[in-house]
Amino acid sequence: MQRGEEDLLASLLVASAKRDQHAFAELYRLTAPRLNAVARRLAGSDASDVLQEAYVRIWHQAPKFDPGRGAAIHWMVVIARNIAIDLLRSRARAYPRLYEIKEVPKAVEVDASVGMDVRRCLDLLEPQHAQVILMAYYAGYSHAEMARRLDKPLGTIKSWVRRGLAELDQCLGSHGR
For the chain, 177 residues long, the average pLDDT of each consecutive 10-residue run is 85 96 96 92 86 95 92 93 84 50 39 60 82 81 87 89 88 62
* CA distances in angstroms from 5 to 9, 14, 65, 70, 139, listed in the order given: 6, 14, 17, 14, 33
Q: Do 41 and 110 sit in the same domain of this protein?
A: no
CATH of residue 66's domain is: 1.10.1740.10
Structural domain count, the chain:
2
Write out pLDDT tens, residues 89-104.
Answer: 776 655 444 444 444 3
Q: Check: pTM over 0.75? Answer yes or no.
A: no
Closest CA to 83 of 21, 31, 36: 36
Range of the domain at 37: 3-94
CATH of residue 116's domain is: 1.10.10.10
Q: Do 59 and 34 sit in the same domain of this protein?
A: yes
Dihedral (CA of 160, 165, 170, 171) sign? positive
